[in-house]
Chain A
């Protein structure tokens, strides 16, 4: 879509919201795009050879071999999933392909009370490397909206997927992402999750299954929680292959809402290494952060650890900055910004700048 088409289809504030979920409308620094509004796929395009992008329905129709992937990760974990989805994206990156610029996908809620349900299938073939950013956002008009997002990731032998999801919802929207990644031998799955705008409720517990030896997964998240919201957000890694590695890092700041930060590491093989870390800052009397870290192992030869720390801003840290001349408010805002450091996420440089700017804008409004 060009600028004119954007302006025809979306209100300026909607374009702003879509951009705030990480979409580069100019596509200058992207190697592919997908956009769905409510249940309608608006457009998609691949800007690079070796990348296929289309709607999941189309892929299931046109590409017979894709059918076996539909629901595969759910049956792997004996889990059920809703079948009444409409749309969602299919992304496949060809064997050995290295994609420098991120592929972007946007799922946008526009109609009042609409229930958007999508099913995404992402296949990264052997040895391919790719960044994928998915922005989910809602228009001002999407009152009482609902979003269900199913994502199945297949990261094949030696492949690398760096997946960034940015949520940019509103006070009365409820959201339920369901993601499962199957990570094969020597492959890596990096998941970055950012949610800095208000939302009514998010419940998600994405899972990565490290099925092959030497596979690795890392889940990193930055969450800002507003009064009246519930964010029940976790990450789970099942370490099935030998010598696999997992890391879960969560940072949550509550401005008054409730955050449940879950993490689950399950060792099903020897010689694995896994770490879970959750840090929470509560900046308001009404805020709640509940960290629930879990670790399981049937083996002795594993290296698993977890760290959790929750509290208000340390007074001594504020005073330290004040004794250099910062006012109390300045000190507080510096510390919160430091706490929400985007370096916690494993982002490519290109996205880091975007997300840093986005965070700066959000925090400026809140402090």
Chain B
């Protein structure tokens, strides 16, 4: 199978602190992978590295998207190659309306209307982006943007945290419909596991302390983390390459 994303031996520092330690991971085209792991373990850092955001110092390794090394590319160039991200904590931008971004992402007015209606964001379109948005509204707005952007690899950083159950179900359906399309891939970070009920993720892995540990069925892994905590993952599996 063709690979969508390959991360090879990636090591990253912030300041002098090592955050990611020799991470390797492959996501194939059409595949959905789930990333678990305790707070501060480096999950968001991995997503931001893939996206090419600044503030991190790569000390080794490479990132390959659709067979092409992207380490030297700017974020917008990566977007043009088919990357998209849903932020865990998106910034607020004064004076910039959600609508401005959304109408840049899609020229299809009907699609914009339908999806913002579905995600109860119609009134938010005319508001400054994320300014005064509730936690759940921010997540819905992130989802609206990424779906309209139509990327091939979706990096979803806790898409459902802080979202009420009813909206999780709406978001889950929207995501699932999107990911059902041919060759769409995703890397999803979740603490709650709710999102697993809506999408067909085949593989999960756990990040602990900047290292990737065991690989398995996401649902089983989530259950085991829930029962026995993250430390158990370390015991039951040797660190493994997710390949």
Residues of A whose CB lies within 8 Å of any CB of B are 279, 314-317, 319-328, 334-335, 337-341, 343
Binds A, one of B23-31, B85-93, B164-172, B192-200: B85-93
Distance between Cα atoms of A38 and B243 in the complex (Å): 79
Describe A's contact surface by its main secondary structure. helix
User: When the two chains form the complex, which single residue of B53, B79, B91, B95 contacts A324, counting CB atoms closer than 8 Å?
Assistant: B79
Number of A-B contacts (CB under 8 A): 66
Which of A314, A321, A341, A343 has most B Cβ within 10 Å?
A321
Q: Is B183 among interface residues, defined by CB-CB distance under 8 A?
A: no
CB-CB under 8 A from B17, the residues of chain A are none
Q: How far is the CB of A346 from the nearest CB of chain B, in Å?
A: 16
User: When the two chains form the complex, which single residue of B53, B80, B96 contacts A319, counting CB atoms closer than 8 Å?
Assistant: B53
**Do A320 and B91 touch (CB < 8 A)?**
yes
**Do B54 and A324 touch (CB < 8 A)?**
no
Binds A, one of B1-9, B35-43, B98-106: B98-106
- Residue on B nearest A313 in the bound complex, by CB: B93
User: When the two chains form the complex, which single residue of B74, B80, B93, B145 contacts A338, counting CB atoms closer than 8 Å?
Assistant: B93
Q: How far is the CB of B186 from the nearest CB of chain A, in Å?
A: 16
- Residue on B nearest A320 in the bound complex, by CB: B91
Given A315-B54, A319-B54, the answer on whether A324 and B101 have CB atoms closer than 8 Å is: yes
**Do B76 and A320 touch (CB < 8 A)?**
no
Identify 5 new A-B residue pairs, CB closer than 8 A, beyond the known A321-B96, A322-B79, A323-B84: A323-B76, A325-B104, A325-B149, A327-B74, A335-B96
Given A319-B54, A323-B51, A334-B100, the answer on whether A314 and B75 have CB atoms closer than 8 Å is: no
Which of A323, A326, A328, A334 has most B Cβ within 10 Å?
A323
**Do A325 and B91 touch (CB < 8 A)?**
no
User: When the two chains form the complex, which single residue of B91, B145, B149 contacts A317, counting CB atoms closer than 8 Å?
Assistant: B91
- Residue on B nearest A339 in the bound complex, by CB: B95
- Residue on B nearest A279 in the bound complex, by CB: B94
**Do B93 and A324 touch (CB < 8 A)?**
no
**Do A334 and B85 touch (CB < 8 A)?**
no
Which of B51, B93, B104, B145 has most A Cβ within 10 Å?
B93
Q: Is B22 among interface residues, defined by CB-CB distance under 8 A?
A: no
**Do B145 and A324 touch (CB < 8 A)?**
yes
Q: B58-82, CB under 8 A of A: which get 1 and which 0?
A: 0000000000000000111001100
User: When the two chains form the complex, which single residue of B79, B90, B95 contacts A325, counting CB atoms closer than 8 Å?
Assistant: B79
Given A319-B75, A323-B85, A324-B79, the answer on whether A314 and B91 have CB atoms closer than 8 Å is: yes
Given A325-B80, A334-B100, the answer on whether A340 and B75 have CB atoms closer than 8 Å is: no
Residues of B whose CB lies within 8 Å of any CB of A are 51, 53-55, 74-76, 79-80, 84-85, 87, 90-91, 93-97, 100-101, 104-105, 128, 145, 149
**Do B79 and A320 touch (CB < 8 A)?**
no
Closest 4 CB pairs of A and B: A338-B95, A341-B95, A338-B96, A322-B75
Which of A314, A315, A324 has most B Cβ within 10 Å?
A324
- Residue on B nearest A326 in the bound complex, by CB: B76
Q: How far is the CB of A280 from the nearest CB of chain B, in Å?
A: 13
**Do B76 and A325 touch (CB < 8 A)?**
yes
- Residue on A nearest B151 in the bound complex, by CB: A325
Give 28 A-B contacts (CB < 8 Å), ordered by A residue: A315-B54, A315-B55, A317-B93, A319-B54, A320-B87, A320-B90, A321-B101, A322-B76, A323-B53, A323-B84, A323-B87, A324-B79, A324-B101, A324-B145, A325-B79, A325-B80, A325-B104, A325-B105, A325-B149, A326-B76, A326-B104, A328-B76, A334-B100, A335-B95, A338-B95, A338-B96, A340-B95, A341-B95
Q: How far is the CB of B4 from the nearest CB of chain A, in Å?
A: 18
Q: How far is the CB of B62 from the nearest CB of chain A, in Å?
A: 20
CB-CB under 8 A from A322, the residues of chain B are 74-76, 79
CB-CB under 8 A from A340, the residues of chain B are 95
Distance between Cα atoms of A320 and B142 in the complex (Å): 11
CB-CB under 8 A from A320, the residues of chain B are 87, 90-91, 93
Q: How far is the CB of B155 from the nearest CB of chain A, in Å?
A: 9
Which of B80, B84, B96, B104 has most A Cβ within 10 Å?
B96
Given A324-B149, A325-B149, the answer on whether A337 and B54 have CB atoms closer than 8 Å is: no
- Residue on A nearest B93 in the bound complex, by CB: A317
Q: How far is the CB of A333 from the nearest CB of chain B, in Å?
A: 11
- Residue on B nearest A324 in the bound complex, by CB: B101
CB-CB under 8 A from A319, the residues of chain B are 53-54, 75
CB-CB under 8 A from B87, the residues of chain A are 320, 323
**Do A337 and B95 touch (CB < 8 A)?**
yes
